[in-house]
Structure 1
Amino acid sequence: MAAQDFVSPDRIRAQFSAAMSLMYKEEVPLYGTLLALVGETNRQVLAERPEVAHTLRQTGELERLDQERHGAIRVGTAEELATLARLFAVMGMQPVGYYDLSSAGVPVHSTAFRAVHEASLRISPFRVFTSLLRLELIDDTALRELAQGLLAQRQIFTPAALALIERCERDGGLGAADAERFVQEALHTFRWHPEATVTAAQYRQLHDQHRLIADVVAFKGPHINHLTPRTLDIDAIQAGMPAKGIAPKAVVEGPPARRHPILLRQTSFKALQERVAFVGDSDRGSHTARFGEIEQRGAALTRQGRQLYDRLLDATRAALGGVPAEANAERYRTLLAETFAAFPDDLKQMREEHLAYFRYFPTERGLAARSDPDRPLTWGALIAAGHVQVEPLVYEDFLPVSAAGIFQSNLGDDAQAEYDSNANREAFEAALQMPMLDELALYAQSQYRSMQACAAALELPNL
């Protein structure tokens, strides 16, 4: 088959994202209710704040807003992780960033599979936060061996999915029929399985060590544990969920509300209790794992910006004197707003202090002045003269403290565990069988490409 007959990885990713959303809506009806609330909220924001609609249109974000999704999956072995990487590669998704959640009491480390070029992200921004269970953190030797034995016996990919991955790797792509079949076969890895692979007693042992360990080990497959639409006003979503019969978590994770959002804010509804059949047990038990999440994405921060963010978040949590929860939610919100007053909420200042990455656009005035010998010749002067417009690059990744907060709030307060910080990027990459990309480098490249395109449009190649 000729290369021109292959379906682009971006289109396969878009198909898979749509199919995943439909499947999850059928499995978790509250997710459909959540989508409706997000859609209502986004339409209201766009109607009431035309400047937001203009910016989204200018940056190409408006078209991707309704299809914006991220999912999360947890696997148990290096082999499962490496095969997932191959599966995601068919869809043009690469591992970006390393996240150690063990220091926050969650025995996993993770990466995010996503598209890496802005043109691909505009077609489909679908991303999957993918975690690998840290079996070495299970301190009970017998339980660790039980978990290893259970995981070694399962195969989470269908034979057809594996064959199509191999065909894509061999031929360099998939044709239309194979791409459609791949999407359907790949979905099986992410489906919910109400039949456990353990007895009720074994489930309790795994659960008592950590609820997440039971979630990863005790089932035929990893099952997607949440899908996340993108909202333009997460505080409105948080306030509106109870009226829709949805119980939100106590606090919104991430930075406080701002005029110019930064990084990522997330909230969720609490995990559902689902009926499960255990091996050798005629009575059905229950398992709590899957939930709904909502996110609001803001500006991607530079290294300096991330350092400032991390410092302010650490100061907020130190002042709180504990983990944000229902009992201290209001105090946490107040402390967060007070502390983050030190982070500039002005795009010009953020750009001049190199706190965020930006996208550069030539304006009509700038294009009209291309033959003017006296036109500005520096970025600062061009922006000040209205020849160039800048808008923040959207943050495409995740925050480890926020991810841990979402996980813990949906696992329950009794799921808290104490682990020393066990960051081990080298071990994760060895399991992945490839290096992870540096998200800051990707943002810098996107910013540079936009500056090049802007300079070329203004006929300023030496800028």
Structure 2
Amino acid sequence: MSNQNVVSPDLIRQRFSRAMSDMYREEVPLYGALMELVASTNARVLASDPAMASQLRATGEIQRLDLERHGAIRVGTAEELATLCRLFAVMGMEPVGYYDLTPAGVPVHSTAFRAVHEASLQVSPFRVFTSLLRLELIDNPELRAFAESVLAKRSIFTAKALELIAHAEHNGGLDEQQAEIFVEQALETFRWHHSATVTAAQYRQLSAQHRLIADVVAFKGPHINHLTPRTLDIDIVQASMPGHGITPKAVIEGPPRRQCPILLRQTSFKALDEAIAFTDQQQATGSHSARFGEIEQRGAALTPQGRALYDRLLNAARDELEDFPSEANAARYDSLMTQHFQEFPDAYADMREQGLAYFRYFVSDKGLAAERDALTGMTLAGLLNAGYVRAEPLVYEDFLPVSAAGIFQSNLGDAAQTRYDAHSNRQAFEAALGRSTIDELALYAQTQQRSIDECGRVLNLQGLVC
């Protein structure tokens, strides 16, 4: 295949993201209502905050805002995970980060498939948080063997999707027609199925062990369980959801409200109770709840130092709460989070100077107009102070284990709030994946350094460092 005929993986990802959104809107009508609420909220925020609107335009974030989505799926076997890795690679998505959710009582470990370069993220920031069920955590040997046998019988990919994945791997990509078919075929893996692959009694056994285990094992495939648009003000959305017929979870996951958002804040509506038919039933008389709607607000990506401070403050608030955040203690939890996070600087300049967050650097209009000889010997800090260069916070593109577990738990019910004694097993996850996961902090550092190098090139200053 001529490389001229190959469709960019970024464009395939963009098309797949839109197709996924259209499918999920049809399957879960409340998702459509959520999208409308987020769009109106974003328009309201941009109209009322010209400085934010200007910042988003300057960094290109405003162009990707309406495209912003993340989805989440759960698979049951190493083979399924490895093939998903290959499928996402066709769309330019790589496994970034390792997340162990077992300490919060969720028997999975996960990664996030996404684009890794800032230019690709501008085309499509679509991400899929992908979890692998840890079957070894099923303490009943007979039930564990049954789950393994059920999963071994299913094939979650169409034959055509597998064929096109192999073709892309051997030929350097897909042409226009192949890309179109690939999107259609790949979508089938994520589609909802109203028929279970087990009897009602078997489903109850799996669900009694953990509702997430039933969700992964009892169906033909890993239906997408939520899609998430990005809002510019999650507190407005949270307060507005009931007025739109949507019941939000009690607590917004992640950091408290701030002038300068950091990392990731998430909320969701409760999982839908959907009719399903078990293998020993003629009609859909059973029910299953797994799919829900979620909203996120993304802030600045934090450095290792910033992340350590965030984790310390989060843990302090949760330790003082002495319970899982819920509707009963939501107000106290919010108060504790606000109290403890007063220690975290709430100005981007302070975060940058203290090395708490990653930034992207741009030559300003003043810098473009400056005489190059006048800039000789200036440091990055000097250029910033003189207004020749400006700094904008890098958007956090990834996830938070505690927040992910909180979203999962709120949609699995209180009975699922248990703990597993098993230790994190990144090595086993990466063996199943077929490759190593990527360190997300290294990606932010690389993006930051590329922006500094570009400033140096434009201003004819070599060796600029942060």
Specify the TM-score bucket, using the shorter chain as the normaliser: over 0.9
Q: Give the Cα–Cα distance (whole angstroms) in 2 for the partners of residues 145 and 359 of structure 1.
A: 50
Aligned partner of 1:294 in structure 2 is 295
Q: Distance in 1 between matches of 2:463 and 2:436?
A: 34
**Residue aligned with 1:356, SS:** coil
Amino acid at match of 1:95: P
Counterpart secondary structure, 2:443: helix
Q: CA deviation at 1:374?
A: 6.0
**1:446 alignment counterpart:** 447
Kept in 1: contact 2:137–2:422 (CA 8 A) = no
Aligned to 2:178: 178
Distance in 1 of aligned mates of 2:376 and 2:154: 66
Q: Write out aligned runs for 1:93-112 (5 A).
A: 93-112=93-112
Within 1, Cα distance between the matches of 2:91 and 2:169? 12
1:232 maps to 232
Verify: 1:272 aligned to 2:253, yes or no.
no
Find the aligned partners of 2:103 and 2:372 in 1 and give their Cα distance.
58
Matches within 5 A, 1:64-463: 64-282=64-282, 284-373=285-374, 377-463=378-464
Q: CA shift at 1:462, angstroms?
A: 3.4
Deviation at residue 380 of structure 1 after TM alignment: 1.2
- Between the aligned partners of 2:119 and 2:154, the Cα distance in structure 1 is 38
Q: Secondary structure at the match of 2:372?
A: coil
Q: Determine if contact 2:372/2:459 at 8 Å carries over to the other structure.
A: no
Aligned residue identity for 2:460 = E
Unmatched 5+ residue regions in structure 2? none
1:39-89 deviation per Cα after TM superposition (whole angstroms, max 9, x unaligned) = 000000000001111111111111000010000000000000000000000
Deviations 1:258-313 (A, max 9, x none): 11100000000000000000011235100000000000000000000000000000
TM-score in terms of structure 2 length: 0.98
Unmatched 5+ stretches in structure 1:
none
Change (3 A) 1:373 1:448: same
Encode CA deviations 1:371-400: one digit per residue, 9 max, x unaligned: 353667011111111111101000000000
Counterpart contact for 1:75–1:133, Cα < 8 Å:
yes
Separation (CA, whole Å) in 1 of partners of 2:374 and 2:180? 55
4+ runs deviating over 3 angstroms? none
Asked whether the equivalents of residues 255 and 265 of structure 1 are also in contact (C-alpha less than 8 Å), the reply is yes
Indicate the RMSD between aligned Cα atoms, in angstroms: 0.9
- How far is 1:421 from its partner? 4.7
For residues 332-378 of structure 1, the C-alpha deviation after alignment (integer angstroms, 9 at most, x for no partner) is: 00000000000001111111111000000111111222335366701
DSSP 3-state at the match of 1:396: coil
Letter of the 1:413 partner, please give it.
D
Letter in 2 for 1:148: E
The 2-side partners of 1:198 and 1:277 are apart by 9
1:47 is paired with a residue whose SS is helix
Deviation readout 1:160-210 (Å, 9 max, x if unpaired): 000000000110100000000000000000000010000000000000000
How much does 1:422 deviate? 2.0
Q: Structure 1 residues 374 and 398 mapped into 2: Cα distance closer, same or farther (>3 Å)? A: closer
Shift of 1:417: 2.0
* Aligned-partner residue type, residue 24 of structure 1: Y
State the distance in 2 between where 1:203 and 1:373 align: 73
Describe the SS at the equivalent of 1:295. Answer: strand
Contact 2:376 2:461 in 1 (8 A): no
Match of 1:17 in 2: 17
Partners of 2:14 and 2:347 lie apart in 1 by 34
Alpha-carbon distance between aligned partners in 2 of 1:93 and 1:421, rounded to the nearest angstrom: 29
Query: Scaled by the length of structure 1, what TM-score is found?
Result: 0.99
Q: Which shows bigger deviation, 237-246 or 412-421?
A: 412-421
1:41 aligned residue = 41
